[in-house]
Amino acid sequence: MIKPEVCVLKTDGINCDMEMAYAFETANASAEIVHVNQLRDKTRGLSEFQALAIPGGFSYGDDVASGKILANELTSLLYDQLSEFADKGKPILGVCNGFQVLVRTGLLPVRNVKEQSVTLSQNESGRFECRWVDINLGKSACKFIDSDNSETEIPMQIAHGEGRFFAKSDALGSLQDNKQVVFRYADGNNPNGSVDDIAGICDKTGLILGMMPHPERSVAAFHPDRSRTDLARSTANALFNNIVQFTKES
């Protein structure tokens, strides 16, 4: 079977693109790192790909706000490509800075491009947080997460300065009612002050996923800390495998 083509989006300041591409390659996909300028000059197009991944980093130096400039670039100069991609039900994954981008485009949580309804703001601690945390899987609408381990704490790395998820009470209620909360920080592990301990959400269809922790860092890499646990590796690998499998079946 032909391997699904995954677009791993790159621009100035994104620095987790190689790890993201590797994670998809280990899941038997063909991952290509594509610079946003290639989409702008139409030497490449999102329509050529079956999945889109926006990695972590500091796109455009996090000027204005984390992910803001890249989000504006996507919703203004690449609006047609982005909207068509989402409308066709193709998977989209945003990790860390990529999550910030998806929120600021409006794709998360309600798929209204150009209409931001929630935010990711500065960490409550007032500093950049780079460490291990434990997260729980929720029983969510996300198509790519097996929630059988919902009671188990899973270690993952975080590295962000603006990861504090905030939503007004009505928006938060909608997220909960529609089972859009995919990940929560386990008790005592919230590194940024996110409301309801939210670490990751999806849209109503479960096909667009954004998360602050970095699953691509637990796929296979050796680390003297908790990334060596079988649960961390199996959870990370399952995420990428499930996205790839979805593209094969759709």
Catalytic, 214? Answer yes
* C-alpha span between 204 and 20 (Å, rounded): 24
What values do phi and psi take at 30, rounded to 5? Answer: -105, 105
Say if strands 30-35 and 208-211 run parallel, antiparallel, or are unpaired.
Answer: unpaired
Q: Is residue 32 annotated as a catalytic residue, yes or no?
A: no
End-to-end CA distance of the chain: 14
Q: Is the peptide bond before 109 cis (omega within 30 degrees of 0)?
A: yes
- Indicate the helix (H) or strand (E) that contains 156: strand 154-160
Give the Cα separation of 17 and 177 in Å (integer).
33
**Amino acid symbol at 74:** L
Task: With H, G, I as helix, E, B as strand and everything else as coil, classify residue 164.
Answer: strand
Active-site choice (16, 96, 142, 202): 96
In angstroms, the Cα distances linking 153 to 97, 136, 137, 163, 181 are: 23, 5, 8, 20, 16
Determine whether 96 is an active site residue. Answer: yes
Q: Report which of 89, 206, 51 is spatially closest to residue 142, judged by C-alpha positions.
A: 206
Q: What residues act catalytically?
A: 96, 214, 216
